Amino acid sequence: MARREIPPSLLPTIDLTKPIQLDDKTLIRLYRTQLESPKTEMAARLYAIEELVRLGETSYLNGFRMKAEMRIGTEEEQLEKLKTGRLGAMTGKGAPLFGDYLHRERGMTREDFEKLLKGDKTDIENEYYLKYISPTLKKYDKAIENCEKRIAVLKQVVAEINAKVPTTKIDF
């Protein structure tokens, strides 16, 4: 992949003598020097920071949000989240909202659903949880574990770059 030049008009907006903050992800993406492999200190530093941002913003945090959403509150409150579909919506492509699950997979009508809401719905909620939510949580646990390993490696890369180029120290 060819190197993409940074427009000179953008160059003054980044001060390499100050720490680059992770939440400046838009700026980092603007400045990313796209190389097949990092050939310069600048490219290596920006690549490492952007990778940390990307990991932090996607699998890592989403996994924690998903786990936190499911783990917060009493068991009844957690099941309420399933019923309202808030957790189902967070699980992405794999899990339908609870109402859709009842309608499409269990063939329930609105009347059936209203009867269910008045009666004991624990079994059907547990079935939904085991079929959709539990595997998703396991998948997130694995993604978080993998991200933690990659972030540890990237932090080591950033530490090595900081040791070589102390005037352009990166904080994260």
* pLDDT average, residue stretch 33-61: 50
Let me know if 169 is exposed, middle or buried by CB neighbors in 10 A (0-12, 13-18, 19+): middle
Interval 90-123: pLDDT, tens: 444 445 556 666 666 667 776 766 666 666 666 7
The Cβ-side half-sphere exposure at 113, using a 13 Å CA radius, reads: 15
Q: What pLDDT sits at residue 90?
A: 43
What token pair was written down for 22?
């992770």
Name the residue among 47, 72, 67 with its Cα closest to residue 154.
47
Q: What pLDDT sits at residue 68?
A: 52
Higher pLDDT, 172 or 110: 110
Question: What percentage of residues in the chain have a pLDDT greater than 90?
Answer: 0
Average pLDDT, the chain: 57
Q: String of b and e for 137-150 (b: at least 16 CB within 10 Å)?
A: bebbeebbeebeee
d(CA 67, CA 4): 39
In this prediction, residue 127 has a pLDDT band, given cuts at 50, 70 and 90, of confident
Q: Say whether pLDDT at 169 is over 60.
A: no
Q: What pLDDT sits at residue 34?
A: 39
Contact 90, 65 (CB under 8 A): yes
d(CA 19, CA 39): 21
The phi, psi pair for 20, rounded to 5°, reads -90, 125
Interval 5-31: pLDDT, tens: 544 444 444 444 554 444 444 444 444
Whole-model pTM?
A: 0.30
